[in-house]
Amino acid sequence: MKLQLAIDELNLEQAMTQLEDLVEYVDIVEVGTPFVIDAGREAVRQIKKKFPELAVLCDVKIMDAGAYEAQLAFDAGAEYVTVLGVTDDLTIKGCVDEARKQGRQIMVDMICVEDLATRVPIVESLGVDVIAVHTGADQQAAGRTPLEDLIEIKKYVKNVKVAVAGGISSQTINAYLALNPDILIVGSGILNAANPVKEARLIAKALKGGR
């Protein structure tokens, strides 16, 4: 079970500083969508250069031009690239084809996919590596929880890894670990904590106990 640190609201300098303190607890660092908008692919390049031991995920949430946009992220050094589950199958397949060329991985973000029972088998058949449960911030504000979505998606995923994201912290982690996701994605739960290092340590410890 891996811990993915999602960096969304920091600039590049702030992110590099935070990673210096958190790197020992993290397996994958996510250059989140707002971070990519702010810093571009340079964020991927700089993080990979300074922290080569970390896998880097570029959360570009591809919706079109799958092969080309995936290539841009992979060429910058990303090991993982995200594509949206609501997009066209050809776009997802393009991402997968590019990932295979470069020996990298594709994570499908299932945010706003309404019919998981139908969509998950199709996404799996396209050869993706990870399917991610993602309850968006706006959905959480309306009362939906990632735990509900994780329970639902685990019914349908058969052959690929499962990741889960959305409002997870050391206070709620045990409920998620009970469902045995492969990747636990935490952002503000660590970065906005009173003591980010302590929070990351607690989560990493819980993950090791969950293996």
Q: For residue range 187-203, list pLDDT tens digits in order.
A: 999 999 999 999 999 99
pLDDT at 143: 77
DSSP class per residue in 5-29:
EEE-S--HHHHHHHHHHHGGG-SEE
Domain count, the chain: 1
Q: Any idea which of 96-105, 117-126, 189-198, 202-211 has the lowest mean pLDDT?
A: 202-211
pLDDT mean over 161-183:
92
pLDDT at 1: 93
Mean pLDDT of 59-69: 98
Q: What is the mean pLDDT of residues 91-105?
A: 98
| Terminal alpha carbon distance of the chain | 6
- Amino acid in the structure at residue 34: P
pLDDT in tens, 24-51: 999 999 999 999 999 999 999 999 999 9
Q: Is the pLDDT of residue 120 over 90?
A: yes
Q: Is the pLDDT score of 145 beyond 80? A: no
Tell me the average pLDDT across 151-180: 93
Other CB atoms within 10 A of residue 114 CB = 8
Residue 163 sits in which domain range?
2-210
pLDDT at position 141 over 80: no
d(CA 153, CA 132): 9
| pTM reported for the whole predicted model | 0.95
d(CA 45, CA 40): 9
Return the bridge partners of 132, or none.
Answer: 109, 163
Residue 210: the pLDDT is 47
CATH number at residue 31: 3.20.20.70
H runs (alpha helix) in the chain: 12-22, 33-39, 42-50, 66-75, 89-102, 116-125, 137-141, 146-153, 173-177, 188-191, 196-210
Half-sphere exposure of 36 (CA within 13 A, CB side): 22
Please give the backbone phi and psi of residue 112, each rounded to the nearest 5 degrees, phi first.
70, 10
pLDDT at 16 over 70: yes
Neighbours of 15 (CB within 10 A): 24
Per-residue pLDDT at 134: 82
In the chain, what percentage of residues exceed pLDDT 70? 99
Q: What is the pLDDT of residue 211?
A: 43
- What's the mean pLDDT in 58-82? 98
What tokens does 60 get?
């570009």
Q: How far is CA 35 from the centre of its chain?
A: 13
Position 124 scores a pLDDT of 98
What are the phi and psi torsion angles at 195 (to 5°)?
-135, 90
